[in-house]
Structure 1
Amino acid sequence: MTELATGRAIVVGVDGSEASAAALRWATEQARALRAEVVAVHAWEATAPRVAPYAPVSVLPTPAEERDAAARLLTETLRRAFGPRIDDAVRAELVEGPAVRVLLDRARGALLLVLGRTAHGQLDLPAGGVVGRGCLRHATVPVVAVPTPDRPAVPLRVVGTRLGPRAELFEAQSVSVT
């Protein structure tokens, strides 16, 4: 699965959260409108380097067990987002590596990179977390942060655009996929 997204793809970062399920639903609606595919990407890393060196070997999961757990997380998130029938325009990718690097690599040449945004106490912050900030900082394609479904969109003021001083933009809202 080393295939990069094409110019007709929307890449979605999947981490198992409700926010990433909402991002999948939103991206699928956008993909329909743009006649694009959705590439749902879950990046996973082996935990062995992060476990204390004195930990018993029986505590460490094998690489195969870690990969299986990552695959289950991706599958469960897709099922939560779409139910028993996953949209044909959605392609899932399980990739070993650091999340920011994997998502940026997969999004190279795509239409959008879509991430779920969980609430971090302050509603006016950009996508929270290390992965969201890393993707926003280094992406070569537009990044969309989709809020969790229970969080209302926060209007943002746009100053000095052709839309005029009173125009408002809203964060992407999750939409139901039927």
Structure 2
Amino acid sequence: MDPHDSAPRVVVGVDGSPSSYAALRWAIRHATLIGGVVDAIAAWEPPSHIGWSAPVVDSSFDKDLAERRFTEELHQVLEADRPVEVREHLVMGDPSDVLLAAAQGAEVLVVGGHGHSSFTRALLGSVSMRCAQHATCPVVIVRPQ
């Protein structure tokens, strides 16, 4: 039996934003404290995914390339600082839906809070707001420093 099967899971959404990088670092620190593992989730949605009844076809999307870029992105953010196992997941779907599904049974869901102006900083991003409202586990929303 894999010892990580019973380890607490910390799920974190990574979308390339500074707040998601801050959330990833927070998730690593928290998983270290609780003896857990981190599931780093990146969701992608083809532009033709919403509003069409035909099957989704996005011939420009290269999943292998996207997975390599996601791995490189995580390496750049974390460098060699990986005191816990970080599992990478690139999933097609609406980011909110993907994160909520991944957080089922998790110890905590960690997401970044977006905000660029003084007004929008007072508001949560739509993904973080939806996760906070619908997750079945505690949710931590991290803003960049």
- For Structure 1 versus Structure 2, the TM-score category normalised by the shorter chain is 0.7 to 0.9
Aligned partners of 1:17 and 1:77 also within 8 Å: no
| CA shift in 2, pair 1:100/1:7, >3 Å | farther
Q: CA–CA distance in 2 between the matches of 1:111 and 1:125? A: 27
| 2:59 paired residue among 44, 55, 62 | 62
More helix by percentage: 2
What does the per-residue CA deviation read over 1:67-90, in whole Å, with 9 as the maximum and x for residues that have no partner? 24542442243123211x362511
Aligned position for 1:40: 40
Q: CA–CA distance in 2 between the matches of 1:144 and 1:49? A: 28
Which segments of 5 or more consecutive residues in structure 1 lack a partner in the other structure? Answer: 51-59, 150-178
Q: Does 1:28 align with 2:28?
A: yes
Aligned partners of 1:16 and 1:73 also within 8 Å: no
TM-score (norm 2): 0.78
Which segments of 5 or more consecutive residues in structure 2 lack a partner in the other structure? Answer: 51-56
Q: CA RMSD in A?
A: 2.8
Find the structure with the greater CA-based Rg. Answer: 1
Per-residue deviation, 1:95: 0.8
Structure 1 moving runs of 4+ over 4 Å: none
Aligned position for 1:172: none
Aligned partners of 1:46 and 1:63 also within 8 Å: no
Q: CA–CA distance in 2 between the matches of 1:145 and 1:80? A: 22
